[in-house]
Amino acid sequence: MEGLLEEDEPLELDGIGGNRQFAPLDALGVDKLRELGIIESQNMHDIEEGHITITELYEREHQAISDGIGEPHMILDLGLRYVVMALFEVGAHPFSSCNAGSFPDDNRHAESYPLVAMYGNNDAISIIKWAAERSGCGLYGTEDPTGMGALVLYSNNIRNFTRMAGQLLHSLD
């Protein structure tokens, strides 16, 4: 049948919405999520202050992944890692994200503003709505009568995603 992968053909996860499960990502647990928030905030600060470039950070992380010591969340854009992993923690299922080139010299993005697209059950969506209202993030999408919905979380300021993740973390305490 045309369009089906052969058994030994690799599955391509890159591309628009191609990594529908953000494989190999899964919930980290609250303690590791807190650590990630600190690391991401520090990396963002270092780039904003000119201590490192986004290119240098991504090269360093790519090398860590190649050396087998990288973290799975390093596949995500800087500025979205903490919020994507927090979304997993509250039961959402992110499938696409982009920081929209929020850092100097980071021109490889297709979106015009930072966003995270996800699926979630209505309970997770309620928590996400609550956190978005308190963090300066917008949401569009729908809840579904069957219990699942799809949302896009967005902002005009990448730092609002850090606040959003903090609110999600607070909801878990």
Please give the pLDDT value at position 15: 43
Pick 143 or 26 by higher pLDDT. Answer: 26
φ, ψ for residue 40, nearest 5 deg: -65, -45
- CA separation, residue 69 to residues 63, 65, 85, 109, 118 (Å): 9, 6, 19, 26, 28
Residue 162 has pLDDT above 90, yes or no: yes
Q: What contacts 73, CB < 8 A, 6 or more positions away?
A: 25, 28, 36, 81, 84, 85
What is the identity of the amino acid at 142? T
Dmax of the chain from CA atoms? 54
Length of the chain: 173
Q: What does the alpha-carbon distance between residue 1 and residue 93 come to, in Å, rounded to a whole number?
A: 30
Band of residue 22 on the pLDDT scale cut at 50, 70, 90: low
Please enumerate in sequence order all residues whose Cβ is within 8 A of that of 79, keeping only pairs 6 or more positions apart, or say none: 40, 44, 99, 102, 103, 114, 158, 159, 161, 162
Task: Look at residue 109 in the predicted model and tell me its pLDDT.
Answer: 67
- What pLDDT, in 10s, does the model give residues 94-152? 988 888 777 877 777 667 789 999 988 888 999 999 999 999 999 988 767 777 778 89
Q: Which amino acid appears at position 157 of this protein?
A: N
**Peptide bond connecting 94 to the previous residue in cis, omega within 30 degrees of 0:** no
pLDDT of 28 strictly over 50: yes
Q: Determine the average pLDDT of the residues in 38-46.
A: 95
- Quick one: pLDDT band at residue 13, thresholds 50, 70, 90? very low
Specify the residue for token string 């010299």.
Answer: 105
pLDDT digits (tens, 9 = 90+) for 48-94: 999 999 999 999 999 998 898 988 888 888 999 999 999 999 999 99
21 or 129, which is more confident?
Answer: 129
